[in-house]
Structure 1
Amino acid sequence: MHATEIAEILNRPLSQELLARELTRLAYVAKDGTPRNVPIGFTWNGSQIVLCTTTNAPKLPALRHNPAVALTIDTEAFPPQILLVRGRAELDVVDGIPDEYLQSSGTYKMTPEQRVHWEAEVRSLYSSMVRIVVTPTWVKLIDFETTLPSAVEELIQQRDQRP
């Protein structure tokens, strides 16, 4: 997929809404060769999706071995709105707490007091974290009104060609 097409899709208003959500599902291949899919907080910096995790997370050896990932950001309401992203994970160990981690957790519903307590706990627990940076190499936006999954598009075409 060409970079201009990726940018056009990611700059659509619906994509921007989805990129402002708090959770994505990160899919990757584990070291044993089986698939994994984990929910994880993220931030969008305008060109990359940034996820943060502990330095001892089981996903890190797998991502070092095979950095190919897929992300799903979606809604729960009908019709679902879905942003699918593929890319390669770049890992960056950071001393302390990455700003993106605090930003990605900023949308959680917490009282100001809960937020202060949560942040103090985070800072006491993590001396470093790993930033997982994904630059999109393929994207698809599905809203079930103007865009559909490719399999559904194919079925519609087949139906429309029937006598």
Structure 2
Amino acid sequence: MPRGILPGMTFALPDTEFGARAARHLTDDVVAWLTLVDASGTPQPAPVWFLWDGSSALVYSMGTAKRLEHLRANPRVALHFDSEDAAAHVVVLTGEAAVDEDTPPVHENPEYLAKYGERITGGWGSAEKFASIYSVPVRIHPKRVRGH
């Protein structure tokens, strides 16, 4: 479990119009931007597919991705979404991420397949093939959300 996240501690979006908009992004968006920092402190944003469970986001990473090395050195991350129109409706979550050994591989994750299954089979032929490449589940535990 990432530093600063206590067992049983969950993240909740604010009960506001902004919170509702953030919830729509978390459930409806296909792509989010995951930003972490490398060893030199340079931000490294990357588009990712993600699955929101109500309190954390799941991303599957390539096993060879530098992202994993960066996360082990510094688990602090940001997850943000494309704004809907001319920089309106910005949503940024900040928190910590870590490899989640308890999460099943993509081809055994029905919720992830429900969201991305057609894209996976269209691009990789099968969920098993995709899972062999994107083999490392990373769990993002947000602590804060900001935006407008």
**TM-score normalised to structure 2 length:** 0.72
User: Does the 8 A contact of 1:74 with 1:80 survive in 2?
Assistant: no
Q: CA RMSD in A?
A: 2.9
Query: Of 38, 61, 77, which residue of structure 1 is paired with 2:85?
Result: 77
Q: Does 1:44 align with 2:52?
A: yes
Residue 128 (structure 2) aligned to one of 120, 123, 126: 123
> Residue 101 and residue 56 in structure 1: after superposition, are their counterparts in 2 closer, same or farther (change >3 A)?
farther
Change (3 A) 1:101 1:119: farther
- Aligned-residue sequence identity (percent) comes to 26
* Contact 2:124/2:130, CA 8 A, preserved across alignment: no
The CA distance in 2 between the partners of 1:9 and 1:86, in whole Å, is: 14
Higher Cα radius of gyration = 1
Matched, 1:140 2:146: yes
1:17 to 24, 31, 36: 24
Once residues 95 and 13 of structure 1 are traced to their aligned partners in structure 2, the CA distance between those partners, rounded to angstroms, is: 29
Superimposed CA distance per residue, residues 65-104 of structure 1 (whole angstroms, 9 cap, x where no aligned partner): 1100011123342462121111110212466426254345
CA contact (8 A) 1:30 1:62 kept: yes
- Could you tell me which residue of structure 2 aligns to residue 26 of structure 1? 34
Which residue of structure 2 lines up, in the alignment, with residue 63 of structure 1?
A: 71
| d(CA) in 2 for partners of 1:119, 1:75 | 29
Q: What is the distance in 2 between the residues matched to 1:8 and 1:96?
A: 28
What is the rounded CA distance, in whole Å, between the counterparts of 1:96 and 1:136 in structure 2?
A: 22
Q: Distance in 1 between matches of 2:13 and 2:30?
A: 22
Match in the other structure for 1:105:
116
Write the letter of the residue equivalent to 2:76.
Answer: A
> Aligned partners of 2:58, 2:104: CA distance in 1, in Å?
16
| Alignment gaps of 5+ in structure 1 | 143-163
TM-score, structure 1 as length reference = 0.67
Alpha-carbon contact 1:9-1:141 (below 8 Å) kept: no
Q: Pick which of 49-58 and 77-86 moved more.
A: 77-86
The count of corresponding residues between Structure 1 and Structure 2 is 133
